[in-house]
């Protein structure tokens, strides 16, 4: 059943024709936030990684850069603390965008008369198209997903957007096909498409979504003026931001610590052992858990491949890391349902295991 926090009765009168001024202001706000982030930060960063090609570097355990250096000789508690700080620093820009853009999306979508269709496949396609240009990782897209769901978008649309943002971004795809043999790259793409068009609709069907609702309904006066529209949009945005932030921020701290603990507990030479089914399952479980930044999965899998890690493990990393995470799991659980969050985690792990087994035949 859908989480109570995400389903507040919504009168379709909110989306009457006379709220076009509020809708316009909310849309401009959302577009301005996205434009600044994409032009000033995200796409230049992705282009830099793409242009680096085979020379792209990773410094942190679960981040590209590091504020603190971490050495295996340090006590576990110290390593976890420093890795957590490194992760929070690496995700500072993207997570900030996620909170602000998620609230703006909620404020805008609340003014639309329809945010879903009767067909789950179409809803999944809408979500995939929505997520592809966002350019944020599986962590930073989670607050946006919370805003999308609260606006009344379907479960399958929200999950599809969360899958497509980190995995179907044009630059991430270009990196994948540049760095890996074609069969490996296709394994990645197929696993993502299965998540979007098979797993997301199935999980959506599991949810009881008989009522369409939003967390921050907009009250539009009978005679809306530009002044009233500005006030209405601003008031709704403030409420939307708090709705997204009050759950996302604490869970972000928790995810940093849990992700750091998980990666620091993994032995350094864990991936050099002989390939076993148990090993593939373990890699998939960890890969789907770790909260890594955008394109980190592609880079780490490539580095592992060049260092002689067996292809089944490389394929499993490529198909699980970066598509979901402990943070995504937590936000989906609090927003949609824990059943949905667990089903998605299980699906990502399962597809990763299948990819690892399929890669046994690759050379």
Q: What is the DSSP string of 70-115?
A: --TTS-HHHHHHHHHHHHHHHTHHHHHHHHHHHHHHHHHHTTSS-S
Identify whether the C-beta of residue 15 lies closer than 8 Å to the C-beta of residue 218. no
Helices (H), 216-337: 226-265, 277-287, 296-306, 311-320, 326-335
Report the chain's terminal Cα–Cα distance, integer Å.
45
Provide the number of structural domains found in the chain.
Answer: 1
φ and ψ at residue 63, rounded to 5 degrees: -155, 155
Which among 174, 91, 184, 70 is positioned nearest to 138, based on CA atoms? 91
Q: What is the pLDDT along the chain (363 residues), one digit of tens a residue?
A: 444 444 333 333 344 445 788 889 989 999 999 999 999 888 999 999 889 888 888 888 899 988 999 988 899 999 999 999 999 999 999 999 999 999 999 989 888 877 888 899 999 999 999 999 998 999 999 999 999 999 889 999 999 999 999 999 999 999 999 999 999 999 999 999 999 999 999 999 988 654 445 555 555 555 567 788 888 888 889 999 999 999 999 999 999 999 999 999 988 788 887 899 999 999 999 999 999 999 999 999 999 999 999 999 999 999 999 999 999 999 999 999 999 999 999 999 999 999 999 998 876
Domain that holds residue 84: 4-361
> What are the structure tokens assigned to 146, written together?
């919370």
Which among 197, 219, 69, 204 is positioned nearest to 149, based on CA atoms? 204
Q: How many CB atoms lie within 10 A of CB 92?
A: 10
Rg (CA), the chain: 21
Identify whether the C-beta of residue 151 lies closer than 8 Å to the C-beta of residue 158. no
- As a residue count, the chain comes to 363
């Amino acid at each position: 059943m859908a989480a109570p926090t995400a389903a507040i009765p919504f009168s379709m009168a909110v989306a009457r024709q006379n709220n076009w001024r509020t809708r316009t202001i909310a849309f401009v706000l959302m577009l301005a936030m996205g434009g600044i982030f994409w032009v000033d930060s995200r796409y230049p960063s992705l282009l830099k990684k793409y242009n680096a090609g085979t020379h792209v570097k990773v410094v942190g355990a679960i981040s590209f850069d590091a504020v603190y250096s971490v050495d295996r000789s340090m006590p576990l508690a110290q390593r976890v603390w420093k890795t957590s700080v490194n992760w929070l620093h690496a995700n500072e820009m993207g997570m900030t965008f996620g909170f602000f853009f998620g609230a703006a999306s909620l404020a805008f979508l609340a003014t639309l008369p329809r945010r879903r269709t009767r067909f789950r496949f179409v809803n999944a396609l809408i979500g995939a198209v929505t997520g592809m240009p966002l350019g944020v990782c599986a962590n930073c897209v989670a607050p946006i997903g919370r805003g999308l769901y609260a606006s009344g978008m379907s479960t399958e649309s929200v999950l599809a957007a969360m899958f497509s943002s980190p995995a179907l971004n044009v630059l991430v795809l270009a990196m994948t096909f540049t760095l890996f043999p074609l069969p490996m790259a296709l394994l990645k793409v197929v696993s993502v498409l299965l998540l979007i068009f098979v797993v997301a609709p199935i999980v959506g069907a599991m949810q009881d979504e008989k009522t369409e609702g939003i967390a921050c309904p907009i009250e539009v006066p009978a005679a809306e003026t530009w002044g009233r529209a500005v006030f209405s949009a601003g008031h709704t945005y403030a409420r939307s931001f708090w709705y997204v932030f009050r759950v996302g921020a604490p869970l972000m701290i928790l995810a940093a610590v849990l992700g750091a603990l998980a990666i620091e507990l993994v032995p350094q030479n864990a991936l050099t052992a002989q390939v076993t089914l148990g090993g593939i399952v373990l890699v998939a479980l960890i890969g789907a858990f770790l909260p890594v930044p955008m394109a980190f999965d592609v880079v780490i899998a490539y580095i592992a491949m060049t260092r002689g890690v067996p292809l089944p493990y490389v394929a499993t990393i490529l198909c699980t890391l970066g598509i979901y995470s402990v943070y995504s799991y937590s936000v989906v659980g609090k927003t949609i349902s824990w059943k949905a969050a667990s089903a998605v985690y299980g699906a990502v792990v399962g597809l990763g295991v299948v990819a690892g087994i399929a890669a046994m035949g690759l050379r």
